[in-house]
Amino acid sequence: MDDLGWDSCDIIIVTGDAYIDHPSFGMAVMGRFLESQGFRVGIIPQPNWQSTSDFTSLGEPNLFFGVTAGNMDSMINRYTADLRMRNDDAYTPYGEGGKRPDRAVIVYTQRCKEAYSSTPVILGGIEASLRRIAQYDYWSNKVRRSVLVDSAADILLFGNAERAIAQIAHDLSLGKSINELKDIRGTAFSQDTPPKGWTEVDSTRIDWPNNIDKHPNPYEYQSNPGNTSTSSDGSCSGNTSTDSSNTKTDEAEIPIRIIPMPLQGKSKLDPSTTYIRLPSFEKVSKDPALYAHTSRILHLESNPHNARALVQKHGGKEIIINPPPIPLTTEEIDGIFDLNYQRRPHPRYGDARIPAFDMIKHSVNIMRGCFGGCTFCSITEHEGRIIQSRSQESILKEIEAIRDKSPGFTGTISDLGGPTANMYHLQCKDDKIQASCRRLSCVYPGICENLLTDHKPTTQLYRKARSIPGVKRVAIASGLRYDLAITDPEYVKELVTHHVGGYLKIAPEHTESGPLSKMMKPGMDSYHKFKKMFDHYSKEAGKKQYLIPYFIAAHPGCEDEDMLQLALWLKKEKLRVDQVQTFYPSPMALATAMYHSERNPLKKVTYKSDRLKIPRGYETRRLQKMILRYHDTDNWPNIRKALLEMNHGELIGSGPNQLVPAATSRHHSRDKKASNKFNSKKPMTKTQKGNKRGNRR
């Protein structure tokens, strides 16, 4: 600030990550973007949250504090799927753990407010996106309030928020109050009442009365609770027989037209003045079925071209979530990636190694978003389903910048991708169809007939990238949607021949239809077709190359029998997987709603909906992971015991169709010791104690 002649910052960004000035890190993108808009931006990375001293180090910002937990949700960053605290943090110098608090955006906001009580605080980043409404929290095993309420921040930005933050910054600089900024897409805010004069679609119930057409309509929303009986979910039960002579009319109160959700299709509603009332925090925190229903509604309202605003009551406050942001055009996203990034950590860190930077410093992000809709993944909730692609010129320019400016570059681009490797410039064939679509996935249960699957732009990009002088190799490390890839053999040939370095990671996640249907993942037919093409083109190129498949254990709806069938498939295919992911219930994901509610929000939820079987508790989840790693001798005793309990003793033996060898006399003592160790009492967190009940199901 002294060198630049600044006496103050306009905006100060507080982040849970070390500051790396690279377009793969959200705080760098927002900082450089706001700088390009003419604002003076300061960044406070990984502050000591025990006091306000670090939060005052740059003085009071003229406009606002921007608060983010960093590139990851702080709880996922700090704890494993088994609820153990991680010892390291990839976004910190030397990978040191403990440099950010639990629920970082809440803690950081509180410190900002303590330091400068009158300065607005704006939340952003993935932790804010995933916690914008009441959400199930795996770590406390309960439904928590919107992070906007818990933090007492002034406004929340979700998704890719360049447009929203630019509008907020410019409006505040022109003298507007933060409380006036109510109509910005991709934002959430709180107020005492819902928008006046709007139409409310009431989704607070899942079992409606039979004579729904006789439901009183319209109602009036009364801001004075003394005049109207208001339920805890925020809907009003105005008494139409009330003597009007005893009712005082407030001229400031404008009637809200309320439409029961089953009747919304029979009414002509203006989406620009319509909101959907979600069940209140108080309701969803006590009623798992309503929680699953709320999750379903949220995801159905995720297409920015047809999404309506959402309103959820939290005590005496209404949390209002505006529709998602309109995706950036190619020219706009090029502008974001072409900003003046230094592409390295801040000099304050000296020569310290930051693992997350080491992983991506020679990689290039070519797009945003994912239309896969995998229920366990957070990409869709944050970046959306509509693909936002950069131009080839912008991407090639960045590769040249890496070649010319990046220390230690040896000629290898470590990745050319994004959320997925092969959705670059894939989109709906018709804008009108896309604008009206509410599908949760463009590729499940099959590839939509309206989806353009031509990979030619990606193939051309690969060819141009590897022809740049000084670039020896371009690797593809992002997740590959092989069900899309098989629609374009030319792309698969290009990928396998030039961009696979011996191993290619892909993610079938499971083999059995039950778990796959809860994940919204394709069946194994697509995998086998891709493997056949992969092997063919590898042989044609004279290379020995292998697929590395990823699988998930303990996903909602996955039973021990399903894991057993997956293990038998692995053995038949002569695959021994070492990297196995145990399902992690991240906030707001559809699979997390399944985990918490035991209902399937991919279908209409009722109290009579079939219950899902959920693998809960440390022992249950660990056993499913063990079965996947059937080849690990340490797992054999517990797998044998589980097979006997499942009445599958025939799978114990050394035959080609058997899973683990029988125990010999010298194995018995080891089996008993391992079984006792596995079943021994372990210190459990509050969450594990709460989940242990699931082992009895």
pLDDT at 684: 45
Q: Look at residue 681 and tell me whether its pLDDT is greater than 70.
A: no
Structure tokens at 602: 């991919």
Using CA atoms, how far apart are residues 221 and 260, in angstroms rounded to an integer?
A: 15
Question: In 3-state terms, the chain is what percent helix, strand and coil (to 5)?
Answer: 35, 15, 50
The average pLDDT across 224-253 equals: 39
Choice among 152-161, 255-264, 569-578, 638-647 with the minimum mean pLDDT: 255-264
Using CA atoms, how far apart are residues 374 and 385, in angstroms rounded to an integer?
A: 11
Choice among 464-478, 493-507, 675-689 with the minimum mean pLDDT: 675-689
Pairing of strands 473-474, 412-413: parallel
**pLDDT band at residue 472 using 50, 70 and 90 as cut-offs:** very high
Exposed/middle/buried for residue 626 (C-beta within 10 Å: 0-12, 13-18, 19+): buried
Query: Given phi > 0 = left and psi -120 to 50 = alpha, else beta, which region is 487?
Result: alpha
The average pLDDT across 322-331 equals: 96
- Residue 466: which residues within 8 A CB-CB, separation 6 or more? 473, 474, 498, 499
pLDDT at 261: 86
pLDDT at 249: 39
Structure tokens at 10: 């306009």
Backbone angles phi, psi at 512, to 5 degrees: -95, 145
> Torsion angle, CA of 84/90/92/97, rounded to 10 degrees?
20
**pLDDT band at residue 665 using 50, 70 and 90 as cut-offs:** low
* Cα→Cα distances 128→73, 415, 481, 648, 689, Å: 8, 28, 28, 46, 28
The average pLDDT across 485-498 equals: 97
The average pLDDT across 444-464 equals: 97
pLDDT at 244: 37
Of 146, 178, 175, 152, nearest in space to 165 by CA: 178
Chain center to CA of 144: 17
pLDDT at 353: 96
Which 3-state string (H, E, C) describes 369-423?
Answer: CCCCCCCCCCHHHHHCCCCEECCHHHHHHHHHHHHHHCCCCCCEECEEECCCCCC
Domains, the chain, in order of start with CATH, read: 11-188 (3.40.50.2300), 199-239+251-315 (no CATH), 362-486 (3.30.750.210)
Mean pLDDT of all residues in the chain? 89
CB atoms within 10 A of CB 531: 17
Choice among 78-82, 134-138, 264-268, 678-682 with the minimum mean pLDDT: 678-682
Of 233, 401, 425, 433, nearest in space to 329 by CA: 425
Contact in structure between 144 and 135 (CB atoms under 8 Å): yes
pLDDT at 268: 85
Chain center to CA of 246: 51
Choice among 248-252, 290-294, 421-425, 651-655 with the minimum mean pLDDT: 248-252
The average pLDDT across 646-665 equals: 91
Q: Look at residue 687 and tell me whether its pLDDT is greater than 70.
A: no
The secondary structure element, H or E, covering residue 461 is: helix 456-466
The average pLDDT across 209-221 equals: 50
pTM across the whole model? 0.89
Q: What is the total residue count of the chain? A: 697
* Cα→Cα distances 329→165, 246, 334, 641, Å: 17, 56, 8, 57
Q: Which neighbouring-strand residues pair with 216?
A: none
Contact in structure between 680 and 596 (CB atoms under 8 Å): no
Q: Look at residue 639 and tell me whether its pLDDT is greater than 80.
A: yes
Among the residues of 46-186, which ranges form H helices?
74-78, 104-115, 126-130, 147-151, 162-173
**What is the widest separation between alpha-carbon atoms in the chain?**
91
Of 530, 565, 393, 416, nearest in space to 477 by CA: 416
Placement of tokens 């295919």 in the chain: 573
Of 343, 383, 375, nearest in space to 161 by CA: 383
Residue type, 399: I
The average pLDDT across 134-163 equals: 97
Using CA atoms, how far apart are residues 657 and 666, in angstroms rounded to an integer?
A: 24
DSSP classification of residue 451: B
Q: Look at residue 567 and tell me whether its pLDDT is greater than 90.
A: yes
pLDDT digits (tens, 9 = 90+) for 531-555: 999 999 999 999 999 999 999 999 9
The average pLDDT across 455-470 equals: 97
Using CA atoms, how far apart are residues 474 and 472, in angstroms rounded to an integer?
A: 7
Contact in structure between 201 and 308 (CB atoms under 8 Å): yes
Q: Look at residue 300 and tell me whether its pLDDT is greater than 60.
A: yes
Give the N- to C-terminal CA distance of the chain in Å, as an integer.
61
Q: Sheet with 41-45: list strands edge to edge.
A: 41-45, 11-15, 64-68, 121-123, 155-157, 187-191, 317-321, 309-314, 274-278, 199-202, 257-260
Query: Given phi > 0 = left and psi -120 to 50 = alpha, else beta, which region is 234?
Result: left
> Torsion angle, CA of 659/663/669/673, rounded to 10 degrees?
10
Q: Look at residue 207 and tell me whether its pLDDT is greater than 90.
A: no
Angle 264-267-270 (CA atoms, 0-180°, nearest 5)? 90
Backbone angles phi, psi at 96, to 5 degrees: -70, 135
Angle 89-93-94 (CA atoms, 0-180°, nearest 5)? 75
DSSP classification of residue 629: T
Structure tokens at 309: 């605003």
pLDDT digits (tens, 9 = 90+) for 504-532: 999 999 999 999 999 999 999 999 999 99
pLDDT digits (tens, 9 = 90+) for 369-422: 999 999 999 888 889 999 999 999 999 999 999 999 898 899 999 999 999 999
pLDDT digits (tens, 9 = 90+) for 84-110: 999 999 999 999 999 999 999 999 999
Using CA atoms, how far apart are residues 194 and 171, in angstroms rounded to an integer?
A: 23
Placement of tokens 């994912």 in the chain: 370
Q: Look at residue 686 and tell me whether its pLDDT is greater than 60.
A: no
Pairing of strands 199-202, 64-68: unpaired
